[in-house]
A and B are shown apart, each in its own frame.
Chain A
Amino acid sequence: MSKRRSLTEAQCVSLAQKLLRERLCHQKLPDRPLALDSQYKHLLELLRRTAVHGESNSVLIVGPRGSGKTMLLGCVLRELMSLKEAQKNVLLVELNGLLQTDDKIALKEITRQLHLENVVGDKVFGSFAENLAFLLEALKKGDKSSSRPVVFVLDEFDLFAHHKNQTLLYNLLDVSQSAQTPVAVLGLTCRLDVLELLEKRVKSRFSHRQIHLFSSLSFAQYVDAVRAQLSLPPDFPDPKFSDAWNHSVTKLCEEKSVEEILRRHFNSSKDFRSLHSLLFLSVSRVSVSHSTLHEADLLEASRLISADSKAIILHGLSILELCLIIAMKHLNDTYDGEPFNFQMVHNEFKKFIQRKSHSIHKFEKPVVMKAFEHLLQLELVRPVDSGVCKVQREYQLMRLMLEHGQVMEALQRYPQCPTDVKQWALSAFA
């Protein structure tokens, strides 16, 4: 007890921050997956049957990005491994479509993860064919009741479907449909049309079990989740600090402006990953002097997250570059989005200078060209088709990669923007 009391405020803050960051950065699995109970049960039951009864299964976990597929699987596997019957029995092989880009690499990885390479001896695997035969042989040897079940986790399952002939998928699913070593093939994907990617033979061997992770959260639940995410656990070393913190969090969530921010986030996406990044930014602002979360923290974080990246770039442009952008905008308006070239932009710019420029000096053409090229580098303008280089640079067709509104907004916020430039931008006709 004395030790607990001795925790200073600073220690408490850093401890709380550490805890929350772990939670928000997905370094620690949550105790229970949020709002995915039925899926959790289904998957756990399925894997348990593989582990305990030696029943082969295949299942796809489908859900949009950030919907918690990996988290769900992690939780299920954690619980599965805590079962006494399954603990020592299950072999786990994890593959990722982004890492194992073809079957050859995938097979090597499987062999490695199954610790079969020591059977092979020191010799590095010979051919792909050898490896496949080897692995199939290994899987074929087993039988339902005596060999250890293998759980294959295929992350980014859709990418495996692009491998040649879908050999790996065919073989894994074939094993799952025949009396060989019991396997559970778990595919994780965000594509809803993944079954259409499978070849008919492969498809026939797949059991067509799909677990969909679509969050049907209401806003109230969402706010509750936010509160739960930000609250400190009851076993926090300093109960006084945690009580105070939790109380402030509860209050925070009831505030109108905070609710507005959260609703905006909720509207744009329901998944927890984007919420976590918002909360993470606000939690980072907590310090000793600023020991509870405030509305301002959330506001600032929200502003950072929802900021438009292009608009920020525009703020850093020179006046000349900004003028060129405005010229391009006018060209876009005039010609209804048709591509333009440097010469057209330069003409537009010259007209502006001649007519009513007081604050802007006359620039030499090479200087304007340089500014234009800078815009090109920033990819605010893009050549229409980069393939053809025969055309002189001045006449190469370009497109502006900015929305009308983005330009206007940037102009409003541009520090010390000359009034005539502003007026030029606002005028309907150049």
Chain B
Amino acid sequence: MSRYITRLRMRRTYKWNGRPVGEDRKLKRQYYESMSISVEGKTEDATVSLGQYILIEGDDDDNPFVAQLLKLYTDDSGKKKTAVLQWFVRMCEVPQNKRKLLGRDPHPQEIFFYQDRSCDNEVDGETILGAVQIEYVPVQDPFPVGKSRDILFVKLLWDTKSFRALDPELMQPSQSPKSPPPSSRGPQTRALPTPDPSVMKRAMSGILTRGSMSTGKMSSSEAESLHSASKLSAAKALSAKRRSQAVSGPQVRKKLDLCSPSKNMSRDDVLGELLDERSEKTLTSKLNTSPTGRISISIRLTPLNLNKEECVSPLSSHSPDKPRMTAHDKDDAASVFLGVQPIEDDDPEPLINTGRTPRKREATPRRAGLRGLKARTPSRRKDSAALREPALAALAEEEHEDSPINTAATSRSKRKSAQLVSSRIKKQLNLLGNKIGLQSDGEDGDDDDCFIPSKIDLQSSSDEEEEAKIDSEDELIVKKHRGSGTSRSTEKTRVSARTPRKTPSKKTAPATPRTPRHATPSIPSRTAPARKPGNVLEEARARLHVSSVPESLPCREQEFQDIYNFVESKVIDGTGGCMYISGVPGTGKTATVHEVIRSLQQSAEQDEIPHFRFIEINGMKMTDPHQAYVQILQKLTDQKATPDHAAALLEKRFSAPAPKKETVVLLVDELDLLWTRKQNVMYNLFDWPTRRNARLVVLTIANTMDLPERIMINRVASRLGLTRMSFQPYTFKQLQQIITSRLNRVKAFEEDALQLVSRKVAALSGDARRCLDICRRATEICEHSGSQKNSSGLVGMSHVMEALDEMFSSSYISAIRCASVQEQLFLRAVIAEFRRLGLEEATFQQVFVQHQALCRVEGLQPANVSEGLTVCQRLGSCRLLLLEGSRLDLFLRIRLNVSQDDVLYALKAD
């Protein structure tokens, strides 16, 4: 990997090279071809120009984001430099669970062309770190060997769902500077740009077309996905805030009027352009519904742009939807919650990324209500506005006095009030739950109705705009940028990708496989596949094995619901929190949490809730508490580091805002083993979730209920909080239910037998594992005895009794009974000596005297000292006797490890 300079070490200054090559008066933008980055203390400046591949500062120091630079522009103030990019992703940015889709080990220098319609492609120019070299490698070719480590290779395309072959044309490194945005209006300082050949080609073949601006379109695609929001968002907020102060309201409003019907831009399409630097709203939509959209024109770019703009502006200003739209845009955070794209519902062709249908949203009444609202399009919103509570409307009104209708746009922001608002909305939704719930079924139809006029709008406008290019075939990744109404919203939405300061430790890490850990160890696979269970008993045994994952977890519904609600709310809100779960071993703590995560992941899969990462660590599965950092970091980013470094990196990751961040759910099993004297591991684990940008949910599991009070110092316990849950040991009824549900109608046990097992276990420990193990053993016993005398074939009382006996009865008695004569005599001598002394301890010498006497009584030849010692040691090794100070042979201290009564009982029965 290239060595780039970290911010901590030196400061970069960014300068435009040369004169602006284009200007958009309306937007007050000036486009540039290249930018030079000078670094303090270095003489030569690095220059990045359009079409080049660049590195963008990200939250991961060792792996900065990679992108291709498409556009550079500045706003009228000239202060803010914005870059438009085509992103690439590294393997480590691909979600862990999707990595195996690649089907091979990624090349260390491999990156993927990133096609995510929801990902924002505009970043602050000052986050550019420098240029990087990328080479396209055809899919079937091997990776070139011996190339510099600085070169990255791109072979495939990653569209958030699958890896696909990459069309090399998408990658074409256009050496000639890209044309200034064709959509820019007003006098051009340049002649017509030569259209990009690849674009032209595609355009002619009708593959690549562009979405026209239309209000209908817009209204149908007003929501944006969470991912994009996060990519933009919080991370950049700081610098954005600083910079956007200058922007005045009226100016913005003017822009808004002109261009709020923002264009949908294809990522692939360099011609597609942003209209407004301030608009940060990205959204995806598929523009293939409009038949007229198929007019694909790509050659007469610039001149027609004039028309286009002219066409659009009046249209958009007339559009009834427009004001609402813009107002809605004000809050980019709204998108977090409104992470739904209504257009999909109407879309005849399923989008690749979302296989979701509105119906799926109605999973639970509560969520259904919320989602129904989320999924509402602006048009629908109009209808439903009446339903909204005045409080909410008022709240919104404060913000957007210019767009009264839209006040109900359920805007939620990332500001502090976000929580408040969201909770209020939830409450309202609960209140409205009935109505909405009733409506929810009809929502599809509603949406369709609403969209029909929009589509007509779209068509008419599209007719006028000849250059409107609508993709009819491909799923386009479209970004929508819209002007926003107020300076406030600008402040929020204008975001720079300036992100965490880099630590000096940043190195050329990821490219080199440093550790053998990256080798994938695996147990060799067997030659013959495992045999499947043959009969009922075997089937039952397989089902009763603790490892078999049950279809559901009976008897833990309440706990499941509590944990589910906790994690879900945190994931939806994008906040963090801690939870402490306690319970004796075998009460289903870990299983329940896994079950929760599984079902949450399912709903995330269906886009019902935002995606999140699940990470699991176990105090027992690490050698040292500080290894927790290493494991978390490794699972999070696939990096390897020393514990100290890992702690620092995690600290930074969780405290710094960063784009592309998703909530992390961390399960810490066996928490008590993470205890250190200073308790800093636990402190950090509980402190991170409290950070503003952490988005970390920590679930901790341990055995003792009072662990926080017992071993944690105050500041740690306080951070853990009071969200606690205790798993009670199972009662016999629950155990019975667990077995029954596991058996799932496989008839292998008699009812009484089951009851006996569960009662016995419940009385002893309430450990479900024990219960299952006993049942398994009972099936084995049944199998063996069943072959001899034919019984019902079911596991009966006698089998269960035998299994219980085997597992619970103490083996001391049988051990004594099976001992040799001398050993038994010795035990007797020990007891005799104890009685004589009145103590529970004697020396070997004393016992030996008794032993010899007993031998004489029994008519045996008395043993000598050596033999006596041998006998004694043998009993000691079985732990029937406890021997102390084995160096002193005669003065060996002897104690009994069994009660005297047990010994006497065992000997008497003999």
Contacts and interface: CB of A to CB of B under 8 A. Distances in A.
Interface of A: 41, 45, 52-56, 62, 64-65, 85, 88-89, 91, 103, 114, 116, 119-121, 123, 126-130, 132-139, 141-142, 144-150, 165, 167, 170-171, 174, 176-182, 190-193, 200-201, 203-205, 207-210, 212, 214-216, 264, 266-270, 306-311, 337, 382, 399, 401-403, 405-406
A65 B872 CA distance: 13
B441 to A, nearest CB: 39
B865 A310 contact: yes
A193 B845 CA distance: 26
Interface in B506-533: 515-517, 519-533
Interface string B754-774: 000000000001010110011
B818 A45 contact: no
A120 B890 CA distance: 53
Nearest to B897: A193
Contacts of B784: 41
B815 A64 contact: yes
A50 B670 CA distance: 28
Contacts of B634: 133
Interface string B343-376: 0000000000000000000000000000000000
Given A64-B815, A177-B546, 15 more contacts: A52-B531, A53-B538, A62-B811, A121-B519, A127-B623, A141-B522, A147-B522, A192-B811, A201-B585, A208-B770, A216-B817, A311-B864, A401-B888, A403-B845, A403-B865
The 8 closest A-B pairs by CB, nearest first: A204-B585, A214-B818, A54-B530, A138-B521, A267-B821, A308-B864, A120-B516, A179-B547
B289 to A, nearest CB: 45
Q: Which among B529, B620, B817, B861 has the highest number of chain A CB atoms within 10 Å?
A: B620
A289 to B, nearest CB: 32
Interface residues of B, number: 86
Nearest to A118: B519
Contacts of A192: 811-812, 815, 878-880
Interface string B87-106: 00000000000000000000
Interface stretch (B179-187, B198-206, B624-632): B624-632
Contacts of A269: 820, 822-823, 870-871, 874
B773 A207 contact: yes
Given A114-B523, A208-B773, A269-B823, A200 B584 contact: yes
14 contacts: A52-B530, A55-B545, A56-B545, A130-B515, A133-B517, A134-B516, A144-B547, A148-B526, A178-B546, A216-B817, A267-B821, A307-B864, A308-B865, A403-B845
A129 B874 contact: no
Interface in B752-805: 765, 767, 769-770, 773-774, 776-777, 780, 784
Contacts of A204: 585-586, 765, 767, 769-770
A91 B523 contact: yes
B535 interface: no
Contacts of A133: 517, 621-622, 631, 634
Contacts of A215: 818
Interface string B526-564: 111111110000100110011111000000000000000
Nearest to A309: B866
A278 to B, nearest CB: 13
B53 interface: no
B140 interface: no
B879 A121 contact: no
B523 A148 contact: yes
A120 B770 CA distance: 37
Contacts of A268: 820-822, 863, 867, 870-871
Contacts of B530: 52-54, 144-146, 182
A148 B524 contact: yes
Contact of A147 (B526, B538, B623, B890): B526
Interface string B846-873: 0010001000000011011111001100
A142 B864 contact: no
A203 to B, nearest CB: 7
A106 to B, nearest CB: 12
A129 B623 contact: yes
A306 B526 contact: no
Contacts of B848: 403
A171 B621 contact: yes
B462 interface: no
Q: Which among B529, B586, B878 has the highest number of chain A CB atoms within 10 Å?
A: B878
Nearest to B777: A209
B807 interface: yes
Contacts of A171: 620-621
B905 interface: no
Nearest to A149: B526
A201 B811 contact: no
A234 to B, nearest CB: 32
Contacts of B523: 91, 114, 138-139, 141-142, 147-148, 150, 181
A59 B622 CA distance: 25
Interface string B591-608: 000000000000000000
A91 B541 CA distance: 23
B40 interface: no
B727 to A, nearest CB: 13
B814 interface: yes
Q: Which among A268, A309, A310, A311 has the highest number of chain B CB atoms within 10 Å?
A: A268
A252 B877 CA distance: 34
A130 B516 CA distance: 9
Given A121-B519, A193-B897, A210-B806, A89 B528 contact: yes
B703 interface: yes
A148 B845 CA distance: 54
A119 B523 CA distance: 11
A62 B864 CA distance: 29
A344 B861 CA distance: 36
A214 B673 CA distance: 38
A190 B877 contact: yes
Nearest to A267: B821
Contacts of A210: 806-807, 811
A402 B864 CA distance: 11
Contacts of A45: 780
Given A149-B526, A200-B703, A267 B860 contact: yes
Contact of A270 (B584, B820, B888): B820
A103 to B, nearest CB: 8
B884 interface: no
